[in-house]
């Protein structure tokens, strides 16, 4: 079963009501076999009211007939419908006239009654169409308040349908007063004719004619009804006269008001149209930018709009000097300009000394101009308008006219608006481009961060003789801290930690370099005669790393690093510190926490063989339960809200409290304490923390 639209039920109701109306009208006249005579008056009024309500509701819930600002289309639609209905009425009257020549025109004539009933229905349909066409026009550019007022108006009109139904006595004064009030309400609503301002001159003429047509139809219907109701041939029943009267009044008054306003608007329509064209050009300019159009296109639009608005006979758009890289205009734009005139213009229009652009020039009588003299004999007035902001020069607009005093102050103000909008458009384009570049940089930083993350060892070394736990946090997208582990044959572990001075991408780049140096230097040397020479000792590692960095680190950059070579077989480790933070150590035998305070110069500070003397290898024998805490200065230099640093001492105390825990737990405790300390402060340096705990070896399973 196809779905019936709810509004279709209004049509069904209208049909039923109309049938009842027809039958009850017929019952008033000559007896018709099978039809009870003289139906009560209220049935007729109810049927009329029901029909009217159904037709109006149907029209009310139709989709909005006004498409955009096509007011003439809306009026034409109403006109055509009105024309159809009026022609229908005309045909009916014709038929009635014809039949009445053959039959006796007795009171209660059936044909007259049928025609009258149909005519009444047609009129109501016409009024409904008119009312809801006016609704679209009244509410055009109106607010919610106006829409509410309109709804109240509809309700009041609806109430007049009920008025006739009841026989209760209403004092004449009240009746008259409320009638006048409703009429005034209609007049007030008729004042809302904003749509007229949006018509072009041609459209205004069309609107006037179409509204005249609508008025004509209304008058035609009213004349017929008035005639019919006084026709002795028709035994006329009561009508919903107030409803019809108010509707007709409003329909007519709104059309009249619109007509008059349009009429009075005609003389100024041309001015309006010019202003509209200017606004449209400005809108076009701004829309071009929003669509992300190119610089040449903006120039073209400015040029054509300026010529049109200024009614220029010839024009040129001169490009800015070649030094202006922001411009996209390479060759001048010309309009109706001879080569001679263009050459003359170019010779005169040069910026004054000390300025990069021309001043604005307006000459209204060129024959008497000292500047142009006889250079431009064909023209009488000229405007020269530079396009520039504080930073950039975007070119110069030149308009010429044969007429003296062609460029009046209004034209100039519009041209100013054009040029300002154009400059704004160029600025916007540049901003958009910059935003795009920024976005690209952000994206690249994100990629750099991802790449750097991959440089951090994924898998921590594991063995049964030690535990390792790590924590690293970069202050920016990419950081300057690094660390790495490498398992060497024979239960040895190489550990490197470091910090590149500076921040950001440069620092991040050097961390990658250090990782490369680490892995390159820790390759087994096949020529080594002794086992312990197979891998560089910490001192040699630092010297070689320093040499490798000599040529690729900027002079003001340096790298701090600490390198540990842990040997399980020997139960000890050797290490070297190159300017890096001191290692914190828990000695399980002495039950004591202290720093290894060794000497050692950062990498990249001395870039010659002299560095060798500034770094040393130290040795240490460890015991099971010993804990080594290795970190970067982001940890000890973390600040609280008052600017105090976390410091070596607090770190030492932390290890005193938690040395007995696992490496992961110690790492977590310290990290938590640092975060508590600097809560609410931005991370101003990268933080890295490694905890290594030595264990008594488990027998291999």
State which of residues 43, 187, 456, 605 lies at the interface with other proteins (CB under 8 A): 605
Residue with tokens 């609704």: 135
408 binds other proteins (CB under 8 A): no
What is the full DSSP assignment across 414-444? HHHHHHHHHHHHHHHHHHHHHHHHHHHHHHH
Residue 307 CA to residue 418 CA, distance in Å, equals 11
In the complex, what is the shortest distance from the CB of residue 498 to other proteins, in angstroms, rounded to a whole number? 12
C-beta closer to other proteins: residue 354 or 610: 610
In the complex, what is the shortest distance from the CB of residue 499 to other proteins, in angstroms, rounded to a whole number? 8
602 binds other proteins (CB under 8 A): yes
3-state helix, strand, coil in the chain (%, to 5): 55, 15, 30
Residue 407 CA to residue 309 CA, distance in Å, equals 10
529 binds other proteins (CB under 8 A): no
Q: Per this entry, what is the length of the chain?
A: 701
In the complex, what is the shortest distance from the CB of residue 563 to other proteins, in angstroms, rounded to a whole number? 14
C-beta closer to other proteins: residue 71 or 558: 558
Orientation angle between helical segments 41-60 and 6-26, nearest 10 degrees: 150
C-beta closer to other proteins: residue 139 or 688: 688
State which of residues 153, 558, 573, 631 lies at the interface with other proteins (CB under 8 A): 558
545 binds other proteins (CB under 8 A): no
475 binds other proteins (CB under 8 A): no
C-beta closer to other proteins: residue 434 or 599: 599
User: Applying CB under 8 A, which part among 206-214, 311-319, 490-498, 573-581 lies near other proteins?
Assistant: 573-581
606 binds other proteins (CB under 8 A): yes
Alpha helices in 493-646 (DSSP H): 504-521, 538-550, 633-636
693 binds other proteins (CB under 8 A): no
Residue 482 CA to residue 502 CA, distance in Å, equals 13
687 binds other proteins (CB under 8 A): no
Judge whether 690 and 469 are in contact, CB under 8 Å. yes
Q: How many CB atoms lie within 10 A of CB 485?
A: 20
User: Applying CB under 8 A, which part among 23-31, 263-271, 300-308, 550-558 lies near other proteins?
Assistant: 550-558
Residue with tokens 């030492």: 652
560 binds other proteins (CB under 8 A): yes
Q: How far is CA 350 from CA 76, 325, 383, in A?
A: 57, 19, 15
In the complex, what is the shortest distance from the CB of residue 605 to other proteins, in angstroms, rounded to a whole number? 5
Q: How far is CA 22 from CA 100, 112, 221, 451, in A?
A: 19, 11, 19, 88
390 binds other proteins (CB under 8 A): no
552 binds other proteins (CB under 8 A): no
113 binds other proteins (CB under 8 A): no
By CB neighbour count within 10 A (0-12 exposed, 13-18 middle, 19+ buried), where does 23 fall? middle
Which secondary-structure segment (H or E) carries 486? strand 481-488
Which tokens sit at 126? Answer: 């016409």
585 binds other proteins (CB under 8 A): no
Q: Which residues 481-510 are close enough to bind other proteins by CB under 8 A?
A: 499, 501-503
State which of residues 89, 124, 366, 601 lies at the interface with other proteins (CB under 8 A): 601
C-beta closer to other proteins: residue 131 or 578: 578
In a 3-state reduction of DSSP, which class is residue 299?
helix
Cβ neighbours of residue 477 under 8 Å, at least 6 residues apart?
445, 446, 448, 449
Residue 617 CA to residue 575 CA, distance in Å, equals 6
C-beta closer to other proteins: residue 190 or 560: 560
Q: Which residues 61-90 are close enough to bind other proteins by CB under 8 A?
A: none
Q: Which residues 612-641 are close enough to bind other proteins by CB under 8 A?
A: 614
C-beta closer to other proteins: residue 376 or 500: 500
- CA 215 to the chain's CA centroid: 46
578 binds other proteins (CB under 8 A): yes
557 binds other proteins (CB under 8 A): yes
φ/ψ bin of 207: left (φ > 0), alpha (ψ from -120 to 50), beta (otherwise): alpha
In the complex, what is the shortest distance from the CB of residue 601 to other proteins, in angstroms, rounded to a whole number? 3
C-beta closer to other proteins: residue 581 or 627: 581
C-beta closer to other proteins: residue 172 or 649: 649
Q: Which residues 637-666 are close enough to bind other proteins by CB under 8 A?
A: 645
Which tokens sit at 557? Answer: 């950059």
Residues at the site binding other proteins, with contacts judged by CB under 8 A: 499, 501-503, 555-558, 560, 578-582, 599-602, 605-607, 614, 645
């Amino acid at each position: 079963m196809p779905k019936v639209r709810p509004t279709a039920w209004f049509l069904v109701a209208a049909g039923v009501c109309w049938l009842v109306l027809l039958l009850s009208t017929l019952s008033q006249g000559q007896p018709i076999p099978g039809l009870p005579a003289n139906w009560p008056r209220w049935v007729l009024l109810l049927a009329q009211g029901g029909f009217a309500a159904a037709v109006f509701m149907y029209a009310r819930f139709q989709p909005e007939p006004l498409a955009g600002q096509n007011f003439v289309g809306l009026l034409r639609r109403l006109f055509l419908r009105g024309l159809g209905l009026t022609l229908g009425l005309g045909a009916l009257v014709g038929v009635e006239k014809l039949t009445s020549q053959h039959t006796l025109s007795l009171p209660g004539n059936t044909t007259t009654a049928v025609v009258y009933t149909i005519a009444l229905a047609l009129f109501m349909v016409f009024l409904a169409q008119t009312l809801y066409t006016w609704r679209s026009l009244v509410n055009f550019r109106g607010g919610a308040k106006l829409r509410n007022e309109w709804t109240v108006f509809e309700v009041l009109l609806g109430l007049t349908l009920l008025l006739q139904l009841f026989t209760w006595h209403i004092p004449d004064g009240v009746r008259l007063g409320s009638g006048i009030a409703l009429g005034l309400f209609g007049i007030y609503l008729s004042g809302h004719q904003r749509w007229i301002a949006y018509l072009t001159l041609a459209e205004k003429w069309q609107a006037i004619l179409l509204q005249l047509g609508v008025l004509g139809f209304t008058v035609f219907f009213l004349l017929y009804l008035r005639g019919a109701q006084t026709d002795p041939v028709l035994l006329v029943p009561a009508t919903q006269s107030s409803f019809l009267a108010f509707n007709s009044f409003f329909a007519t008054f709104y059309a009249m008001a619109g007509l008059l306003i349009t009429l009075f608007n005609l003389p100024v329509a041309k001015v309006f149209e010019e202003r509209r064209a200017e606004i449209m050009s400005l809108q076009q300019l701004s829309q071009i930018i929003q669509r992300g159009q190119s610089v040449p296109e903006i120039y073209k639009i400015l040029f054509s709009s300026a010529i049109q608005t200024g009614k220029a006979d010839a024009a040129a758009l001169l490009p800015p000097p070649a030094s202006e890289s922001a411009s996209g205009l390479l060759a001048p734009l010309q309009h109706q300009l001879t080569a001679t005139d263009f050459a003359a213009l170019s010779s005169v229009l040069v910026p004054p000394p000390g300025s990069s652009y021309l001043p604005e020039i307006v000459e209204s009588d060129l024959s008497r101009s000292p500047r142009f003299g006889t250079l431009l004999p064909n023209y009488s007035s000229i405007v020269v308008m530079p396009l520039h902001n504080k930073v950039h020069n975007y070119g110069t607009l030149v308009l010429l006219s044969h007429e003296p005093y062609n460029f009046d102050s209004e034209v100039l103000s519009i041209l100013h608006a054009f040029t300002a909008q154009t400059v704004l458009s160029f600025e916007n384009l540049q901003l958009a481009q910059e935003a795009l570049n920024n976005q690209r940089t952000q994206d690249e930083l994100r990629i750099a961060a991802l790449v750097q993350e991959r440089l951090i060892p994924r898998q921590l070394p594991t063995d049964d003789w030690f535990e390792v736990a790590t924590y690293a946090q970069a202050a920016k997208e990419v950081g300057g801290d690094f660390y790495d582990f490498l398992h060497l044959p024979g239960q040895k572990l190489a550990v490197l930690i470091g910090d590149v001075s500076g921040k950001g991408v440069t620092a991040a780049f050097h961390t990658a370099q250090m990782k490369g140096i680490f892995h390159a230097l820790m390759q087994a040397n096949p020529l080594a005669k002794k086992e312990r020479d197979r891998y560089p000792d910490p001192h040699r590692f630092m010297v070689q790393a320093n040499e490798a960095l000599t040529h690729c680190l900027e002079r003001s950059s340096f790298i701090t690093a600490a390198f540990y070579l842990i040997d399980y077989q020997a139960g000890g480790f050797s290490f070297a510190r190159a300017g890096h933070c001191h290692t914190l150590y828990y000695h399980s035998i002495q039950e004591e926490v202290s720093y290894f305070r060794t000497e050692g110069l950062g990498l990249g500070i001395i870039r010659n063989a002299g560095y060798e003397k500034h770094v040393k290898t130290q040795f240490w024998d460890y015991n099971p339960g010993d804990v080594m805490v290795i970190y970067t200065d982001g940890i000890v230099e973390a600040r609280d809200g008052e600017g105090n640093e976390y410091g070596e001492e607090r770190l030492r105390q932390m290890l005193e409290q938690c040395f007995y825990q696992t490496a992961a737990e110690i790492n977590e405790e310290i990290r938590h304490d640092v975060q508590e300390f600097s809560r609410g402060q931005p991370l101003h340096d990268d933080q890295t923390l490694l905890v290594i705990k030595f264990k008594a070896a488990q027998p291999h399973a």
